[in-house]
Structure 1
Amino acid sequence: MHIPKKGLRALGIAESYSGREHSTLAGIVMRKDLIIDGCAFSRVAVGGMDATEGVLAIVQTLDRRDINVIFLSGCVIAFFNIIDAERVHKCTGLPVICVTYEESAGLDGDICHHFPGDTARLDAYRRLGDRVSHILPDGQTVYLRSWGLDPADAGRLCMAFTHEGKIPEPLRVARLSARAAHDFAR
């Protein structure tokens, strides 16, 4: 993948969750020069185990062959509904980068507390692996997991799509879109 390429396209997927039965996912296709040229939505169950299907539904709805990378705003969404990013990578053939913004000791204890005995959910979380910290040019830190590309390239792609603050633009716009769609559906 040629990271300096101006027409490089990322699909950013983020959610809006407010404690209801469903969480809204928004997918935004954005070129590196900030041109938006695609949008799709899906819903997942709060506390469910269908987040991966929700992400794949967005990819299928868009039906685009020009997307170069998928950014996820976290892999644990909608009250511990875990995205299997490895499966997303294998099903799409695209590199996947999961971006989070806070240092954490992990969610094992929280999962065990809220879902006692749910070993499938705990195993899905543990399969995500460790996050790698990446310092952006302005000194802010993001935490990345990646599939289909090495952590250094994941960091470079994150920087290439981050123009202000620490949220890559496709994820920032996807989060705003998910929130608007979620609020509209109320």
Structure 2
Amino acid sequence: MRHLHLEKKGIRGLAIAESFTQHSKKSILAGVVMRRDLIIDGFVIGKTTLSGDDATDEILRMYEKLNRPDVSYVLISGVIISLYNIIDIQKLYKKLQIPIIAITYNDSLGIEDALKYHFNDAQSKINEYKKLEERTRIKLDTNFDVYIRNEGCTLSDVQKLLNELTTQGSIPEPVRVAQLLARTILLD
């Protein structure tokens, strides 16, 4: 199992973000490999089904497609993406054996009601959602709050890493670039 080695300037992470429209059947996932010093070092693209259950497996496929043993962690924008496609960060950690960090930007309440509204038989999605650990709020050096779930690394390491990757606002630079790439591909 690899750990976050924050003492290394060139530590690389895979940041994943998505983009879709309400009329899409698939969401575009963009992955950006970026070093801690904010140098971009690779890209990977994937797709997930809106309202599906394939997000976790697609992220695993994207990681494997990169074939980059130097990637030391995965940073994901959200745990519930593509209209309630839930990412299982524990499964990602067990399969990849590197730290997994999921970041969101707002405190979300009422997800169970939203799942009931969108799915006829929502209980399995609700059970899957409940498996997710409670999110932890972190105040960044930029004075913005973010909410994280993490596996395979300490909260203090996550906070240090996010502070180094977030140059302004609340969105870490690798995630911001992944979001831009996903949106560009979607609109192409």
- Poorly superposed stretches of 4+, deviation over 4 Å: none
In structure 2, distance between residues paired with 1:106 and 1:68: 34
In structure 2, distance between residues paired with 1:39 and 1:160: 21
**Residue among 49, 60, 64 paired with 2:64:** 60
Q: Which segment is superposed worse, 128-137 or 103-112?
A: 103-112
Of all paired residues, the percent bearing the same amino acid is: 38
- RMSD, matched Cα: 1.1
Q: Which segment is superposed worse, 155-164 or 21-30?
A: 155-164
1:6-155 alignment to 2 at 5 Å? 6-19=9-22, 20-155=24-159
Does structure 2 conserve the Cα–Cα contact (< 8 Å) formed by 1:14 and 1:73?
yes
- Matched residue type, 1:140: F
Does structure 2 conserve the Cα–Cα contact (< 8 Å) formed by 1:145 and 1:151?
no
Instruction: Give how far 1:156 is off.
Output: 1.6
In structure 2, distance between residues paired with 1:94 and 1:178: 24
Cα displacement string for residues 130-170 of structure 1 (whole angstroms, at most 9, x for unaligned residues): 11000011211001110111222222221121112111111
Instruction: Give how far 1:106 is off.
Output: 4.4
Does structure 2 conserve the Cα–Cα contact (< 8 Å) formed by 1:24 and 1:181?
yes
Instruction: Give how far 1:57 is off.
Output: 1.3
SS in 2 for 1:117: coil
Cα displacement string for residues 27-83 of structure 1 (whole angstroms, at most 9, x for unaligned residues): 000001111111000111111110111111110110110011100000100100011
In structure 2, distance between residues paired with 1:153 and 1:120: 33
Alignment pair present for 1:163 and 2:167: yes
- Matched residue type, 1:158: L
SS in 2 for 1:68: strand
Q: TM-score, normalised by structure 2?
A: 0.94
SS in 1 for 2:147: strand
Does structure 1 conserve the Cα–Cα contact (< 8 Å) formed by 2:11 and 2:71?
yes
Residue segments in structure 2 that go unaligned for 5+ positions in a row: none
Residue segments in structure 1 that go unaligned for 5+ positions in a row: none
Does structure 2 conserve the Cα–Cα contact (< 8 Å) formed by 1:48 and 1:81?
yes
Does structure 1 conserve the Cα–Cα contact (< 8 Å) formed by 2:52 and 2:84?
yes
Does structure 2 conserve the Cα–Cα contact (< 8 Å) formed by 1:9 and 1:31?
yes
In structure 2, distance between residues paired with 1:96 and 1:32: 16
